Amino acid sequence: MTEHDHSPAVTILDDAAAASEEAARVIAATLRDRPDAVLGLATGGTMVPVYASLARMIAAGGIALARARSFNLDEYVGLPPDHPQSYRHFMNTHFATPTGMDPARMDLPSGIAPDPQAEAARYEAALASGGPVDLQLLGLGGNGHIGFNEPGSSAESRTRVVTLDPRTVKDNARFFGPGEEVPARAITMGIASILAARRILLVATGPGKAAAVRAMLRGPVGPDCPASFLRRHLAVTVILDRAAAADLTP
């Protein structure tokens, strides 16, 4: 990782559907070039249409996930894998089932490990031995987080247990039932873990991401906007819709 500031390749498309389709094309191209690719995968609303587009491309033929492996960015501490809001459940529903990928080839941190710190260390070791990740897919939090690396995260951080920013907990509350406790901790890949990937693909759509996109691409590189650390990587592609790109000056 160099301290030099690199400019990511930015693609701006008309709407979220076009951005999702383009992101799926990048993933499909990676699988065509390297059928045994190691994919770094993400969750969240932005990824649902991306994975749906990828599933359609797989169904059309020419690419498959039979030899691929994946590592997910994060998981909530305290949620069992069958909980509807666990990221394992999300990945099974939105990725494994529609694409036909074997869930056994998809590694995620365990949210119910007796010792979350030891689980974070296990996961980082698995990444080191199973990687490097060929293509790391990322979403973008409204406060600039990637994975669950909230503002204040160090560029040197590795997979660890984190306490979620109150804004993130509030943003996530809509996914949980009335009166259901929203997890306040998660296990997440760190910034340095993410930057170890060969190539990074970040997708952001909607007006709620515009300020974070501007901070990521135009603001100072530093912990106030964790996504800004992506400018230290040589191979980053950012795909936006017009709403998410609205605050970028030419």
**Active-site amino acid positions:** 74, 143, 145, 150
Angle at 149 between CA 245 and CA 238, to 5 degrees: 30
What the chain holds in terms of domains, given with CATH numbers, is 9-241 (3.40.50.1360)
Instruction: Name residue 146's beta-bridge partners.
Output: 149
Q: Please give the pLDDT value at position 172.
A: 83
192 token code pair: 């340095």
Torsion of CA 64, 100, 71, 212, to 10 degrees: 90
At 146, the amino acid letter reads I
At 203, the amino acid letter reads V
Cβ-proximal residues to 67 (8 Å cutoff; 6+ apart), any chain:
35, 36
Q: For residues 86 and 41, give the distance between their C-alpha atoms in angstroms, rounded to a whole number.
A: 14
Per-residue pLDDT of the chain (250 residues; tens, 9 = 90+): 445 688 999 999 999 999 999 999 999 999 999 999 999 999 999 999 999 999 999 999 989 999 999 999 999 999 999 999 999 999 999 999 999 999 999 999 999 999 999 999 999 999 999 989 999 999 999 999 999 999 999 999 999 999 988 888 888 888 888 888 899 999 999 999 999 999 999 999 999 999 999 999 999 999 999 999 999 999 999 999 999 999 997 6
Q: Please give the pLDDT value at position 51.
A: 98
- Cβ(99)–Cβ(55) under 8 Å? yes
Backbone φ, ψ for residue 188 (5° rounding): -135, 145
Tokens 């500031």 locate to 5
Q: Please give the pLDDT value at position 1.
A: 41
Closest residue by Cα to residue 109 from 125, 132, 129: 125
Q: Please give the pLDDT value at position 175.
A: 85
Element (H, E) at 27: helix 16-33
- Cβ(191)–Cβ(226) under 8 Å? yes
Q: For residues 133 and 201, give the distance between their C-alpha atoms in angstroms, rounded to a whole number.
A: 12
Backbone φ, ψ for residue 64 (5° rounding): -150, 165
60 token code pair: 């059309």
Q: Check residue 193 and give left, alpha or beta (phi > 0: left; psi -120 to 50: alpha).
A: alpha
